[in-house]
Structure 1
Amino acid sequence: MANVSRQAAWEFFGAELKRLREAADLTQAELGVRVFVSGGYIGQFEQAIRKPQLDVAQRIDETLQTDGIFERMWRKLINDTRYAEYFAHVVDLERTATKICEFAPTVVPGLLQTAEYARAVTIAANPFVTDEYVEEKVSARLERAVILKDATRPEYWAVLHESTLRIAVGGPAAMAGQLDHIAELMRDRTAMVMVIPFAAGAHASMLGDLRLMEFEDAPPTAYTETSFSGTLLDDPAVVKRARRAYDLIGAVALSPKASLTLIESAAEDFRRCTRTT
């Protein structure tokens, strides 16, 4: 589904929610209490600013006695087989974020990946799948990165561990191309990337993958991910703790200028490998 039609469908979701809420003679605050979110969140759902999680859609159905209509719409809109179920909602939020901050300790974040790197990562995790499956995943990843080229692109920050720069994902040539791509985004001021060097030792980055997202008209969120699952967090206290963790990660990273120099040096190291093999 194209972004425009998907957004229109979410606007229909919100319009129906407002219509049925008012038919039940409930204010946004009253409905929020019954489905365990704030009245402000209900307003954001109705304006299609924010999308509810599945359990919230289910509770709305129960409260408004809608015979599961909101759950069915949610599943239709969120279900994108190109993404893991736990990540599809995050992709939707990405498109409306005004700022994205990521930390990736072992793999280049998806928004920064080249096709060759994404292909190698996909095959490594799924060695028995078809070429069609691989290319579908690669295409979806590159499609996500389009947001960094938009005129209204989010402010994008990423912190990588040096180990991410040194693993030859896809081979030396592919890795050199990947690092060149990151360096180009930095030089173009499309992305602010910092690197934690091996010399930093123990630090807060050992907590795993972390992503923070901020929005124009909605509260910030945090997203954490392991190999087989991800968790979207929007509790203000938890998001605040995640923000502090990200700040601690950045505190031990190299400056953007020094990080760019390291990334360019690592790319040249991989190029030398291709010339000697």
Structure 2
Amino acid sequence: MAKAKRKEVWVFFGELLKERRETAKMSRNELGARVFVSGTYIGLFEQGVRKPQLDVAQRIDEVLQTGGIFERTCRDLINASPYADYFHEVAELEAVATKLCEFAPTVVPGLLQTPEYMRAQILAMYPFASEAYIEEKVSSRIERQAILKEDATRPEYWAILHENVLRTPVGGPALMARQLDHLVALARQRRVLVAVIPREVGAHAHMTGTLKLMEFSDQPPTAYTETEYSGTLLDDPAVVKDAQRTYDLLRVAALSPEASLAMIESAAEDYRRCASTT
């Protein structure tokens, strides 16, 4: 299902939710209390700005006695997404965020990857995957990167990388040199602010998995954490505040942007020298 089409269905979802809620003579706060989200979130669902998770859609069906229409719609949209079940809503939120702050401990974040780096990473994870599967995954990541190309709507984007990201030669030294050159180019174009945490720092604030913070113009901030096979979108204000504090500590541990770019450029040169001798 095309991205524009998915957006239209979510808008329909919201309009139907508002209609059924008002028919049941419930306020947003009343419905929210019964499905364990805030009234503000019910309003965001109705506007098509936020997408409810499947368990919330199921509870809405139960409370409003809709015969499962919201669960079915939610499942259809999740199944139509090219992303993993736990990531499809995150991809939608990235597209409307005004600020993104990301920490990557082992691989380059998807928004900053070159297509050949994407392919190498996907092949490493799925060595028996079909070419069609790989192309679908690559295309979906490239589609996500469109948010960094529109000057009028581009989010402020901070990326903190552990030095391990630079020193792991995904796809070989020549490919890795081009990937690091791409990182530097994006930073020089002021499309992303990159900082690197050196290995010698040792223990740091977020030792496992990735961390992504997202801010918006018309809804509360969220946080997202991901490990190898699962991800969690965090909405609770207290938890998001803790995640923001963690990111502040990561930023303190990182090199300055200038020193970080120098390290990335040096690593790229090392890879080029290695590639030229093989």
Q: TM-score range by the shorter chain?
A: over 0.9
Q: Deviation of residue 126 (structure 1)?
A: 0.5
The one-letter code sitting in structure 2 at the alignment partner of 1:156 is Y
Contact 1:101/1:213 (<8 A) preserved: yes
CA distance, structure 2, for counterparts of residue 269 and residue 94 of structure 1: 33
Contact 2:208/2:227 (<8 A) preserved: no
Which residue in 2 is equivalent to 1:177? 178
Which residue in 2 is equivalent to 1:25? 25
- Equivalences for 1:128-139 in 2 at 5 Å? 128-139=128-139
CA distance, structure 2, for counterparts of residue 105 and residue 272 of structure 1: 25
Between 128-137 and 98-107, the greater mean CA deviation after superposition: 128-137
Which residue in 2 is equivalent to 1:108? 108
CA distance, structure 2, for counterparts of residue 138 and residue 174 of structure 1: 16
CA distance, structure 1, for counterparts of residue 228 and residue 240 of structure 2: 21
CA distance, structure 1, for counterparts of residue 9 and residue 277 of structure 2: 54
Give the 3 Å change call, closer, same or farther, for CA 179–80 of structure 1 in structure 2.
farther
- Paired residues, number: 277
Which residue in 2 is equivalent to 1:269? 270
CA distance, structure 2, for counterparts of residue 216 and residue 78 of structure 1: 25
CA distance, structure 2, for counterparts of residue 167 and residue 5 of structure 1: 38
CA distance, structure 2, for counterparts of residue 133 and residue 9 of structure 1: 25
- Equivalences for 1:194-233 in 2 at 5 Å? 194-233=195-234
CA distance, structure 1, for counterparts of residue 153 and residue 7 of structure 2: 16
Give the 3 Å change call, closer, same or farther, for CA 18–242 of structure 1 in structure 2.
same
Contact 1:79/1:88 (<8 A) preserved: no
Counterpart secondary structure, 2:106:
coil
Instruction: Please give the per-residue CA displacement for 1:48-104, whole angstroms capped at 9, x wherever unaligned.
Output: 121111111111000010011011111122324521111111111111111111101
CA distance, structure 2, for counterparts of residue 186 and residue 66 of structure 1: 49
Residue 140 (structure 1) aligned with residue 140 (structure 2): yes
Counterpart secondary structure, 1:79:
helix
Which residue in 1 is equivalent to 2:191? 190
Q: CA RMSD in A?
A: 1.1
Q: Deviation of residue 249 (structure 1)?
A: 0.7
Residue 52 (structure 1) aligned with residue 43 (structure 2): no
The one-letter code sitting in structure 1 at the alignment partner of 2:34 is R
Which residue in 1 is equivalent to 2:79? 79
Which residue in 1 is equivalent to 2:236? 235
Task: Identify unmatched segments of 5+ residues in structure 1.
Answer: none
How much identity, in percent, do the aligned residues show? 66
CA distance, structure 2, for counterparts of residue 100 and residue 11 of structure 1: 24
Residue 121 (structure 1) aligned with residue 101 (structure 2): no
Task: Identify unmatched segments of 5+ residues in structure 2.
Answer: none
Which residue in 2 is equivalent to 1:260? 261
Q: Deviation of residue 184 (structure 1)?
A: 0.4
Contact 2:197/2:253 (<8 A) preserved: yes
Between 51-60 and 81-90, the greater mean CA deviation after superposition: 81-90
The one-letter code sitting in structure 2 at the alignment partner of 1:92 is E
Q: Deviation of residue 240 (structure 1)?
A: 0.5
CA distance, structure 2, for counterparts of residue 80 and residue 232 of structure 1: 19
Q: Deviation of residue 207 (structure 1)?
A: 3.6
Contact 1:80/1:88 (<8 A) preserved: no
Which residue in 1 is equivalent to 2:160? 159
Contact 1:165/1:266 (<8 A) preserved: yes
CA distance, structure 1, for counterparts of residue 274 and residue 206 of structure 2: 29
CA distance, structure 2, for counterparts of residue 89 and residue 189 of structure 1: 27
Instruction: Please give the per-residue CA displacement for 1:94-140, whole angstroms capped at 9, x wherever unaligned.
Output: 11111111101001100000011110110000111112211211111
Q: Deviation of residue 262 (structure 1)?
A: 0.8
Which residue in 1 is equivalent to 2:37? 37
Which residue in 2 is equivalent to 1:12? 12
CA distance, structure 2, for counterparts of residue 206 and residue 33 of structure 1: 35
Give the 3 Å change call, closer, same or farther, for CA 80–171 of structure 1 in structure 2.
farther
Counterpart secondary structure, 1:202:
coil
